[in-house]
Amino acid sequence: MNKNKYLEDFYNTHDEDARFNLSRAHKLEYITTMHYIHKYAKKRASILELGASTGAYSIQLAKEGYTVTAVELLQNNLDVLIKNSKGLDNLTAHQGNALDLSKFDDNSFDVVLNLGPMYHLYTEKDRLKAIKESIRVCKPNGIIFFAYITCSDVILYGGFMHHEIFDLLPRIDKRGTIKPAPEHIFGSYFIEDFEKQFKKLPVTHLKNVSADGIALKIAEKIEEMSDDEFKLFNDWHLSTCERLDHQGLSSHMLYICRKN
């Protein structure tokens, strides 16, 4: 089976457009990521989003005045993005693959958001290719965001909380690393393994950020919070999400770097 067919089948049966609105816990990933985009993206910056899905980030950033180029692999997601972005002349959308950005010149964008592709790449060769392409199209001194899923999240959230641990066991090695495979949709990393990929590349590491911390593991408790309590929780998360002791159990991580 074509590995992209696994993705098509998965996303055709999941309402990706609603993902960040499923709960406050899901929304925290979006809040945190936007917080850091605003921290690093200058006014009137040109932004490329890879794996833009249905456009949650691209559309909002275009509404804020950035010049946005969105690239999405799956036609179904792209159709929703185009529909939702109607009237935004500063947003252009393309079908494309993060492994091949040849339609874009070197040094084209101020900010590159690789917020989805690393979830679905299953070989070291493909992962490195996607990273190098993101770096290539970024301008010197530009900022690049990479999002990834942690191994601990797949085991704790998917394995134990969603009762899939016996399906995962054959793929887990003695380190707790999970062997990636297209039919399992989501690949994952330990933080140190993700960082190793950048050692010889022309970037300077800026931040590791826990995008949602333990939010998905305590989602029910978060939903029970009052609005004032959730605001305090959100503020606390943003003030601590760069701490090492808040990162290993996070569901989603951000690796932020600057192109040399």
**CATH number of the domain bearing residue 164:** 3.40.50.150
Give the count of beta carbons closer than 10 Å to the beta carbon of residue 255: 24
Tokens of 160: 């134990």
Whole-number Å distance between alpha carbons of 246 and 194: 17
* pLDDT surpasses 90 at 207: yes
Give the pLDDT band (50/70/90) at residue 248.
Answer: confident
Q: How far is CA 203 from CA 43, 131, 140, 246, in A?
A: 22, 11, 9, 24
pLDDT at 15: 84
Element (H, E) at 109: strand 109-114
Whole-number Å distance between alpha carbons of 73 and 61: 20
Give the rounded percent of residues in the chain with a pLDDT score beyond 90: 85
pLDDT at 170: 92
Number of domains in the chain: 1
Sequence-separated (6 or more) residues with CB below 8 Å from residue 207: 36, 242, 254, 255, 256
Q: Is the dihedral of CA 40, 42, 43, 48 positive or negative?
A: negative
Whole-number Å distance between alpha carbons of 166 and 159: 8
Find the mean pLDDT for residues 8-18.
Answer: 86
Give the pLDDT band (50/70/90) at residue 14.
Answer: confident
* pLDDT surpasses 80 at 113: yes
Dump pLDDT digits (tens) for 35-85.
999 999 999 999 999 999 999 999 999 999 999 999 999 999 999 999 999
**What is the domain extent for residue 169?**
3-259
Mean pLDDT score across all residues of the chain? 94
